Chain A
Amino acid sequence: MRTAFPTMGTMASVELPAAWASEVNEVQRIFRTIDDRYSLYSPDSELSLIAAGTTSLSHASPPLLASYARALEWRSATGGNFSPHRPDGTIDLNGIVKAEAIEQAGEHLTAVGCPEWSINVGGDILVSPTGAATPATASASPLGPRVMRAGIAEPLSPTELLCSLELRHPRRAIATSGSAQRGDHIWRAGSTEPVSFVQVSVVANDIVTADVLATAIVAGGQTALDDVTDRWDVDVVAVDRAGALRATPGLLHALATKI
Protein backbone atom coordinates (compact mmCIF):
# COMPACT_ATOMS: atom_id res chain seq x y z
CA MET A 1 0.00 0.00 0.00
CA ARG A 2 1.36 3.35 -1.06
CA THR A 3 0.93 6.63 0.78
CA ALA A 4 2.22 10.00 -0.41
CA PHE A 5 2.36 13.03 1.86
CA PRO A 6 4.13 16.40 1.86
CA THR A 7 7.06 16.89 4.22
CA MET A 8 10.25 18.95 4.38
CA GLY A 9 9.26 21.03 1.38
CA THR A 10 8.97 17.98 -0.82
CA MET A 11 6.90 14.81 -1.04
CA ALA A 12 7.34 11.47 0.68
CA SER A 13 6.12 8.20 -0.82
CA VAL A 14 5.94 5.25 1.55
CA GLU A 15 5.13 1.71 0.47
CA LEU A 16 4.02 -0.82 3.09
CA PRO A 17 2.27 -4.18 3.00
CA ALA A 18 -1.48 -3.64 3.53
CA ALA A 19 -1.36 -5.27 6.96
CA TRP A 20 1.14 -2.65 8.11
CA ALA A 21 -0.62 0.35 6.60
CA SER A 22 -1.25 1.98 9.99
CA GLU A 23 2.50 2.36 10.51
CA VAL A 24 2.47 5.18 7.98
CA ASN A 25 1.10 7.39 10.77
CA GLU A 26 4.21 6.88 12.87
CA VAL A 27 6.40 7.46 9.81
CA GLN A 28 4.61 10.76 9.20
CA ARG A 29 5.03 11.70 12.85
CA ILE A 30 8.79 11.06 12.64
CA PHE A 31 9.09 13.34 9.63
CA ARG A 32 6.94 16.03 11.22
CA THR A 33 8.98 16.02 14.44
CA ILE A 34 12.25 16.34 12.58
CA ASP A 35 10.91 18.99 10.21
CA ASP A 36 9.60 21.02 13.16
CA ARG A 37 13.04 21.01 14.73
CA TYR A 38 15.17 21.78 11.67
CA SER A 39 13.11 23.77 9.21
CA LEU A 40 14.59 27.17 8.41
CA TYR A 41 11.29 28.07 6.74
CA SER A 42 9.56 28.00 10.06
CA PRO A 43 10.85 30.93 12.19
CA ASP A 44 9.99 29.11 15.42
CA SER A 45 11.95 25.92 14.73
CA GLU A 46 14.84 25.23 17.06
CA LEU A 47 17.32 25.56 14.20
CA SER A 48 15.82 28.89 13.11
CA LEU A 49 16.21 30.23 16.63
CA ILE A 50 19.85 29.12 16.66
CA ALA A 51 20.51 30.53 13.18
CA ALA A 52 19.00 33.84 14.27
CA GLY A 53 21.12 33.90 17.40
CA THR A 54 18.09 33.82 19.67
CA THR A 55 19.18 30.50 21.13
CA SER A 56 22.81 29.62 21.77
CA LEU A 57 24.11 26.44 20.15
CA SER A 58 25.35 25.41 23.58
CA HIS A 59 21.70 25.22 24.68
CA ALA A 60 20.60 23.17 21.69
CA SER A 61 18.74 19.90 22.18
CA PRO A 62 20.74 16.64 22.14
CA PRO A 63 19.20 15.49 18.80
CA LEU A 64 20.15 18.76 17.11
CA LEU A 65 23.68 18.61 18.50
CA ALA A 66 23.98 15.01 17.34
CA SER A 67 22.90 15.96 13.81
CA TYR A 68 25.28 18.89 13.79
CA ALA A 69 28.17 16.74 15.00
CA ARG A 70 27.41 14.14 12.35
CA ALA A 71 27.30 16.84 9.66
CA LEU A 72 30.64 18.24 10.84
CA GLU A 73 32.19 14.78 10.65
CA TRP A 74 30.99 14.54 7.06
CA ARG A 75 32.41 17.97 6.36
CA SER A 76 35.83 16.76 7.51
CA ALA A 77 35.52 13.46 5.66
CA THR A 78 34.63 15.17 2.38
CA GLY A 79 37.25 17.91 2.65
CA GLY A 80 34.52 20.52 3.00
CA ASN A 81 32.56 19.52 -0.10
CA PHE A 82 29.68 18.78 2.22
CA SER A 83 28.99 21.45 4.80
CA PRO A 84 26.35 22.22 7.42
CA HIS A 85 26.90 25.93 6.91
CA ARG A 86 25.76 28.30 4.23
CA PRO A 87 28.44 30.44 2.57
CA ASP A 88 27.51 33.27 4.96
CA GLY A 89 28.15 30.98 7.92
CA THR A 90 24.52 30.33 8.85
CA ILE A 91 23.99 26.84 10.22
CA ASP A 92 21.81 24.80 7.87
CA LEU A 93 21.34 21.08 8.44
CA ASN A 94 19.11 20.62 5.39
CA GLY A 95 21.78 18.51 3.75
CA ILE A 96 21.55 15.78 6.37
CA VAL A 97 18.23 15.94 8.22
CA LYS A 98 16.12 14.55 5.39
CA ALA A 99 18.36 11.50 5.14
CA GLU A 100 18.37 11.18 8.93
CA ALA A 101 14.58 11.26 8.93
CA ILE A 102 14.45 8.52 6.30
CA GLU A 103 16.95 6.51 8.35
CA GLN A 104 14.90 6.96 11.53
CA ALA A 105 11.63 6.04 9.80
CA GLY A 106 13.31 2.94 8.36
CA GLU A 107 14.64 1.94 11.78
CA HIS A 108 11.12 2.26 13.15
CA LEU A 109 9.61 0.05 10.44
CA THR A 110 12.33 -2.55 10.97
CA ALA A 111 11.89 -2.40 14.75
CA VAL A 112 8.15 -3.08 14.59
CA GLY A 113 8.79 -6.01 12.27
CA CYS A 114 7.35 -4.67 9.04
CA PRO A 115 8.67 -7.26 6.57
CA GLU A 116 9.09 -5.09 3.53
CA TRP A 117 8.91 -1.39 2.81
CA SER A 118 10.32 1.47 0.80
CA ILE A 119 10.60 5.14 1.75
CA ASN A 120 11.17 7.76 -0.92
CA VAL A 121 11.49 11.38 0.16
CA GLY A 122 12.08 13.84 -2.65
CA GLY A 123 13.97 11.24 -4.69
CA ASP A 124 16.11 9.77 -1.91
CA ILE A 125 15.14 6.14 -1.38
CA LEU A 126 15.70 3.54 1.33
CA VAL A 127 14.27 0.02 1.17
CA SER A 128 13.86 -2.65 3.85
CA PRO A 129 16.83 -4.85 4.75
CA THR A 130 14.72 -7.89 4.01
CA GLY A 131 12.68 -8.28 0.89
CA ALA A 132 14.91 -8.50 -2.11
CA ALA A 133 17.88 -9.97 -0.27
CA THR A 134 17.89 -12.81 -2.75
CA PRO A 135 16.11 -13.29 -6.06
CA ALA A 136 14.05 -16.03 -4.39
CA THR A 137 12.71 -13.73 -1.69
CA ALA A 138 12.16 -11.02 -4.28
CA SER A 139 9.73 -13.22 -6.15
CA ALA A 140 7.95 -14.05 -2.89
CA SER A 141 7.90 -10.44 -1.81
CA PRO A 142 4.54 -9.15 -0.55
CA LEU A 143 5.02 -5.89 -2.41
CA GLY A 144 6.46 -7.26 -5.63
CA PRO A 145 9.84 -6.73 -7.23
CA ARG A 146 8.99 -3.23 -8.48
CA VAL A 147 9.31 -1.88 -4.97
CA MET A 148 12.95 -2.86 -4.72
CA ARG A 149 13.74 -1.51 -8.17
CA ALA A 150 14.59 2.18 -8.27
CA GLY A 151 14.67 4.31 -11.36
CA ILE A 152 17.14 7.15 -11.75
CA ALA A 153 15.60 10.22 -13.33
CA GLU A 154 16.92 11.53 -16.61
CA PRO A 155 18.13 15.01 -15.55
CA LEU A 156 17.50 16.56 -18.93
CA SER A 157 13.95 15.18 -19.03
CA PRO A 158 12.74 14.41 -15.50
CA THR A 159 9.68 12.44 -16.54
CA GLU A 160 11.94 9.87 -18.19
CA LEU A 161 14.31 7.40 -16.61
CA LEU A 162 18.03 7.34 -17.20
CA CYS A 163 18.22 3.77 -15.97
CA SER A 164 16.95 1.57 -13.19
CA LEU A 165 18.61 -0.76 -10.71
CA GLU A 166 17.66 -3.12 -7.97
CA LEU A 167 18.24 -2.02 -4.40
CA ARG A 168 19.28 -5.13 -2.58
CA HIS A 169 20.61 -5.67 0.91
CA PRO A 170 23.13 -4.41 1.89
CA ARG A 171 22.92 -1.78 -0.88
CA ARG A 172 19.61 -0.40 0.35
CA ALA A 173 19.88 3.30 -0.29
CA ILE A 174 20.10 5.62 -3.25
CA ALA A 175 20.23 9.40 -3.23
CA THR A 176 20.47 11.82 -6.11
CA SER A 177 21.73 15.38 -5.97
CA GLY A 178 21.94 17.97 -8.64
CA SER A 179 20.73 21.17 -10.06
CA ALA A 180 18.15 19.58 -12.34
CA GLN A 181 15.11 20.16 -10.14
CA ARG A 182 15.75 22.75 -7.49
CA GLY A 183 18.36 24.99 -9.03
CA ASP A 184 21.86 25.36 -7.67
CA HIS A 185 21.08 24.72 -4.04
CA ILE A 186 24.43 23.09 -3.35
CA TRP A 187 27.05 25.44 -1.96
CA ARG A 188 30.53 25.16 -3.30
CA ALA A 189 33.01 26.84 -1.05
CA GLY A 190 34.56 29.74 -2.93
CA SER A 191 34.10 28.17 -6.34
CA THR A 192 32.61 30.16 -9.19
CA GLU A 193 33.22 27.43 -11.77
CA PRO A 194 30.07 25.95 -13.26
CA VAL A 195 29.26 22.53 -11.81
CA SER A 196 30.84 19.58 -13.60
CA PHE A 197 27.92 17.28 -12.92
CA VAL A 198 24.29 18.28 -13.23
CA GLN A 199 23.17 15.10 -11.49
CA VAL A 200 24.91 12.58 -9.26
CA SER A 201 23.32 9.42 -7.84
CA VAL A 202 25.03 7.44 -5.11
CA VAL A 203 24.01 3.92 -4.08
CA ALA A 204 25.18 3.01 -0.59
CA ASN A 205 24.40 0.80 2.38
CA ASP A 206 22.80 3.68 4.26
CA ILE A 207 20.85 6.71 3.16
CA VAL A 208 22.90 9.36 4.98
CA THR A 209 26.11 8.23 3.27
CA ALA A 210 24.34 8.15 -0.10
CA ASP A 211 22.85 11.61 0.34
CA VAL A 212 25.94 13.34 1.72
CA LEU A 213 28.29 11.87 -0.88
CA ALA A 214 25.96 12.71 -3.78
CA THR A 215 25.97 16.31 -2.57
CA ALA A 216 29.75 16.28 -2.09
CA ILE A 217 30.35 15.05 -5.65
CA VAL A 218 28.09 17.70 -7.17
CA ALA A 219 29.96 20.31 -5.11
CA GLY A 220 33.46 18.98 -5.74
CA GLY A 221 33.22 17.75 -9.35
CA GLN A 222 35.52 15.16 -10.86
CA THR A 223 38.09 15.35 -8.06
CA ALA A 224 35.42 14.63 -5.47
CA LEU A 225 34.00 11.82 -7.63
CA ASP A 226 37.39 10.07 -7.76
CA ASP A 227 38.00 10.68 -4.07
CA VAL A 228 34.60 9.32 -3.02
CA THR A 229 34.84 6.19 -5.16
CA ASP A 230 38.37 5.55 -3.87
CA ARG A 231 37.50 5.89 -0.21
CA TRP A 232 33.90 4.73 0.19
CA ASP A 233 32.16 1.51 -0.69
CA VAL A 234 29.51 3.10 -2.89
CA ASP A 235 28.36 3.04 -6.48
CA VAL A 236 27.92 6.21 -8.45
CA VAL A 237 26.40 7.34 -11.72
CA ALA A 238 27.06 10.96 -12.67
CA VAL A 239 25.70 13.02 -15.53
CA ASP A 240 27.90 15.91 -16.66
CA ARG A 241 26.86 19.20 -18.23
CA ALA A 242 27.09 17.76 -21.73
CA GLY A 243 24.82 14.89 -20.71
CA ALA A 244 27.63 12.30 -20.74
CA LEU A 245 27.56 9.58 -18.10
CA ARG A 246 30.14 8.16 -15.76
CA ALA A 247 29.47 5.06 -13.68
CA THR A 248 31.36 2.84 -11.26
CA PRO A 249 31.88 -0.84 -12.13
CA GLY A 250 29.47 -1.95 -9.41
CA LEU A 251 26.72 0.25 -10.77
CA LEU A 252 27.24 -1.06 -14.29
CA HIS A 253 26.74 -4.52 -12.86
CA ALA A 254 23.55 -3.47 -11.09
CA LEU A 255 22.26 -1.80 -14.24
CA ALA A 256 22.83 -4.98 -16.18
CA THR A 257 20.76 -7.03 -13.70
CA LYS A 258 17.79 -8.39 -15.55
CA ILE A 259 14.39 -7.44 -14.32
Chain B
Amino acid sequence: MRTRAILGSILASTSVLIVGYQAGVSVTTSDGTSVSLPVDAATNGTAGNTNAGNGSSTPGTGTAAAAPAASGPADGTFTGSSVSTRFGNVQVAVTIASGSITDVTALQLTDDDGRSVQISNRAAPILRTEVLSSQSAQVSNVSGATYTTDAYLSSLQSALDQAGA
Protein backbone atom coordinates (compact mmCIF):
# COMPACT_ATOMS: atom_id res chain seq x y z
CA MET B 1 0.00 0.00 0.00
CA ARG B 2 2.88 2.27 0.70
CA THR B 3 4.10 1.79 -2.86
CA ARG B 4 0.72 2.90 -4.13
CA ALA B 5 0.86 5.96 -1.93
CA ILE B 6 4.33 6.81 -3.21
CA LEU B 7 3.17 6.42 -6.78
CA GLY B 8 0.25 8.66 -5.92
CA SER B 9 2.56 11.38 -4.72
CA ILE B 10 4.65 11.05 -7.85
CA LEU B 11 1.53 11.46 -9.92
CA ALA B 12 0.67 14.53 -7.92
CA SER B 13 4.11 15.97 -8.50
CA THR B 14 3.91 15.06 -12.16
CA SER B 15 0.55 16.71 -12.59
CA VAL B 16 2.09 19.94 -11.33
CA LEU B 17 4.65 19.67 -14.10
CA ILE B 18 2.05 18.82 -16.69
CA VAL B 19 -0.13 21.76 -15.69
CA GLY B 20 2.89 23.98 -15.95
CA TYR B 21 3.72 22.45 -19.27
CA GLN B 22 0.27 23.18 -20.58
CA ALA B 23 0.61 26.74 -19.42
CA GLY B 24 3.80 26.74 -21.42
CA VAL B 25 5.63 29.14 -19.19
CA SER B 26 6.81 27.89 -15.87
CA VAL B 27 6.16 25.28 -13.28
CA THR B 28 5.32 26.24 -9.78
CA THR B 29 5.57 23.46 -7.31
CA SER B 30 3.88 23.15 -4.02
CA ASP B 31 6.91 24.27 -2.10
CA GLY B 32 6.64 27.64 -3.77
CA THR B 33 9.68 27.50 -6.00
CA SER B 34 9.31 27.63 -9.72
CA VAL B 35 11.16 25.97 -12.52
CA SER B 36 11.16 27.52 -15.95
CA LEU B 37 10.87 25.31 -18.98
CA PRO B 38 13.87 26.32 -20.99
CA VAL B 39 14.24 25.73 -24.68
CA ASP B 40 16.83 23.11 -25.54
CA ALA B 41 16.79 21.72 -22.07
CA ALA B 42 17.31 18.27 -23.42
CA THR B 43 19.37 16.17 -21.13
CA ASN B 44 20.77 12.74 -21.39
CA GLY B 45 19.58 11.72 -17.97
CA THR B 46 17.99 8.47 -17.16
CA ALA B 47 14.92 9.26 -19.19
CA GLY B 48 14.69 6.95 -22.13
CA ASN B 49 17.41 4.60 -21.05
CA THR B 50 15.26 2.68 -18.69
CA ASN B 51 12.63 1.61 -21.12
CA ALA B 52 14.30 2.07 -24.45
CA GLY B 53 12.53 0.00 -26.99
CA ASN B 54 10.89 -2.31 -24.55
CA GLY B 55 7.54 -1.65 -26.09
CA SER B 56 5.87 -1.19 -22.76
CA SER B 57 6.07 2.56 -22.44
CA THR B 58 2.96 4.47 -23.27
CA PRO B 59 4.01 7.72 -24.88
CA GLY B 60 1.39 10.36 -25.24
CA THR B 61 -1.12 10.14 -22.48
CA GLY B 62 -4.45 11.85 -22.85
CA THR B 63 -3.18 14.74 -20.83
CA ALA B 64 -0.15 15.20 -23.01
CA ALA B 65 -2.16 14.94 -26.19
CA ALA B 66 -4.30 17.80 -25.02
CA ALA B 67 -1.27 20.03 -24.73
CA PRO B 68 -0.86 22.61 -27.45
CA ALA B 69 2.12 21.15 -29.22
CA ALA B 70 2.62 24.06 -31.55
CA SER B 71 2.93 26.66 -28.82
CA GLY B 72 4.45 24.41 -26.17
CA PRO B 73 8.07 24.29 -25.22
CA ALA B 74 10.65 22.54 -27.32
CA ASP B 75 11.50 18.92 -26.93
CA GLY B 76 13.57 18.13 -23.92
CA THR B 77 13.57 16.92 -20.38
CA PHE B 78 12.14 19.19 -17.75
CA THR B 79 12.85 18.79 -14.11
CA GLY B 80 10.46 19.74 -11.36
CA SER B 81 11.44 20.88 -7.91
CA SER B 82 11.70 18.49 -5.07
CA VAL B 83 8.38 18.19 -3.31
CA SER B 84 8.20 17.07 0.26
CA THR B 85 5.47 14.59 0.97
CA ARG B 86 4.71 12.51 3.99
CA PHE B 87 6.25 9.60 2.12
CA GLY B 88 9.49 11.44 1.49
CA ASN B 89 10.88 13.83 -1.08
CA VAL B 90 9.70 13.44 -4.63
CA GLN B 91 11.20 15.01 -7.71
CA VAL B 92 10.37 14.05 -11.25
CA ALA B 93 11.49 14.86 -14.76
CA VAL B 94 9.23 14.85 -17.78
CA THR B 95 10.57 14.17 -21.24
CA ILE B 96 8.72 15.82 -24.10
CA ALA B 97 9.16 14.85 -27.72
CA SER B 98 7.06 16.16 -30.60
CA GLY B 99 4.57 17.71 -28.25
CA SER B 100 3.95 14.54 -26.28
CA ILE B 101 5.18 13.46 -22.91
CA THR B 102 7.21 10.39 -23.64
CA ASP B 103 8.65 9.63 -20.25
CA VAL B 104 8.33 10.50 -16.61
CA THR B 105 11.31 9.71 -14.47
CA ALA B 106 11.64 9.98 -10.73
CA LEU B 107 14.90 11.77 -9.98
CA GLN B 108 14.64 11.76 -6.24
CA LEU B 109 12.61 9.72 -3.91
CA THR B 110 13.63 9.03 -0.37
CA ASP B 111 11.89 7.15 2.34
CA ASP B 112 11.51 8.24 5.93
CA ASP B 113 15.08 7.24 6.71
CA GLY B 114 16.48 9.29 3.86
CA ARG B 115 17.37 6.30 1.75
CA SER B 116 16.58 6.46 -1.90
CA VAL B 117 13.71 4.34 -3.08
CA GLN B 118 13.32 2.85 -6.48
CA ILE B 119 9.95 3.52 -8.04
CA SER B 120 9.67 0.48 -10.21
CA ASN B 121 12.25 -2.18 -10.57
CA ARG B 122 10.01 -4.47 -12.56
CA ALA B 123 11.51 -6.56 -15.31
CA ALA B 124 10.35 -5.45 -18.73
CA PRO B 125 10.62 -7.32 -22.01
CA ILE B 126 13.81 -6.60 -23.93
CA LEU B 127 15.10 -7.79 -27.25
CA ARG B 128 18.24 -9.85 -27.53
CA THR B 129 19.58 -7.15 -29.83
CA GLU B 130 19.41 -4.71 -26.91
CA VAL B 131 21.87 -6.84 -25.01
CA LEU B 132 25.35 -6.02 -26.17
CA SER B 133 26.96 -8.99 -27.79
CA SER B 134 29.28 -10.62 -25.34
CA GLN B 135 32.28 -12.73 -26.07
CA SER B 136 33.55 -15.33 -23.71
CA ALA B 137 37.06 -13.87 -24.00
CA GLN B 138 35.82 -10.87 -22.03
CA VAL B 139 34.72 -12.81 -18.98
CA SER B 140 36.29 -15.38 -16.71
CA ASN B 141 33.13 -16.63 -15.03
CA VAL B 142 29.83 -17.78 -16.45
CA SER B 143 26.60 -17.79 -14.49
CA GLY B 144 24.24 -20.50 -15.61
CA ALA B 145 21.96 -23.18 -14.29
CA THR B 146 24.08 -25.62 -12.30
CA TYR B 147 25.98 -28.15 -14.34
CA THR B 148 26.99 -31.53 -12.98
CA THR B 149 30.63 -32.39 -12.53
CA ASP B 150 30.45 -34.44 -15.73
CA ALA B 151 28.67 -31.76 -17.74
CA TYR B 152 31.33 -29.29 -16.61
CA LEU B 153 33.83 -30.86 -19.00
CA SER B 154 31.81 -29.68 -21.98
CA SER B 155 30.91 -26.31 -20.45
CA LEU B 156 32.15 -22.88 -21.35
CA GLN B 157 33.36 -22.47 -17.76
CA SER B 158 35.69 -25.42 -18.22
CA ALA B 159 37.23 -23.78 -21.26
CA LEU B 160 37.60 -20.48 -19.40
CA ASP B 161 39.22 -22.22 -16.43
CA GLN B 162 41.76 -23.88 -18.69
CA ALA B 163 42.49 -20.58 -20.40
CA GLY B 164 42.98 -18.90 -17.04
CA ALA B 165 45.02 -21.64 -15.43
Interface residues of A (CB under 8 A from B): 1-2, 4, 6, 9-11, 13, 15, 98, 118, 120, 122-125, 146-147, 149-153, 155, 158-164, 174-182, 199, 201, 225-226, 229-230, 233-238, 244-253, 255-256, 259
User: A2 with B144: in contact, given A9-B149, A248-B122 (CB under 8 Å)?
Assistant: no
Give Cα A159 to B157, complex, Å.
8
Give Cα A226 to B130, complex, Å.
21
Beyond A146-B138, A152-B142, list 15 extra A-B contacts (CB 8 Å).
A11-B158, A120-B141, A120-B157, A150-B143, A161-B136, A164-B134, A174-B143, A177-B145, A226-B122, A233-B118, A244-B125, A246-B124, A246-B126, A248-B123, A255-B130
List residues of chain B with CB within 8 A of the CB of A176.
Answer: 143-145
List residues of chain B with CB within 8 A of the CB of A4.
Answer: 158, 161, 165
A161 and B139 contacting across the interface, CB-CB below 8 Å? yes
List residues of chain A with CB within 8 A of the CB of B157.
Answer: 11, 13, 120, 123
User: A229 with B49: in contact, given A147-B141, A161-B135, A181-B145 (CB under 8 Å)?
Assistant: no
Closest to A251 in B: B123
Give Cα A226 to B123, complex, Å.
7
Give Cα A229 to B140, complex, Å.
27
Whole-angstrom distance between the Cβ of A63 and the nearest chain B Cβ: 22
Say yes or no: is B85 at the interface (Cβ < 8 Å to chain A): no
Whole-angstrom distance between the Cβ of A242 and the nearest chain B Cβ: 11
B145 and A179 contacting across the interface, CB-CB below 8 Å? yes
Q: Which of A2, A6, A98 has the most CB of B within 10 A?
A: A2
User: A151 with B145: in contact, given A225-B123, A244-B125 (CB under 8 Å)?
Assistant: no
A152 and B147 contacting across the interface, CB-CB below 8 Å? no
Whole-angstrom distance between the Cβ of A180 and the nearest chain B Cβ: 4
Give Cα A235 to B128, complex, Å.
17
List residues of chain B with CB within 8 A of the CB of A174.
Answer: 143
User: A252 with B156: in contact, given A150-B141, A151-B143, A182-B145 (CB under 8 Å)?
Assistant: no
User: A118 with B121: in contact, given A10-B147, A161-B156, A252-B49 (CB under 8 Å)?
Assistant: no
Give Cα A248 to B122, complex, Å.
6
A118 and B141 contacting across the interface, CB-CB below 8 Å? yes
Say yes or no: is B155 at the interface (Cβ < 8 Å to chain A): yes
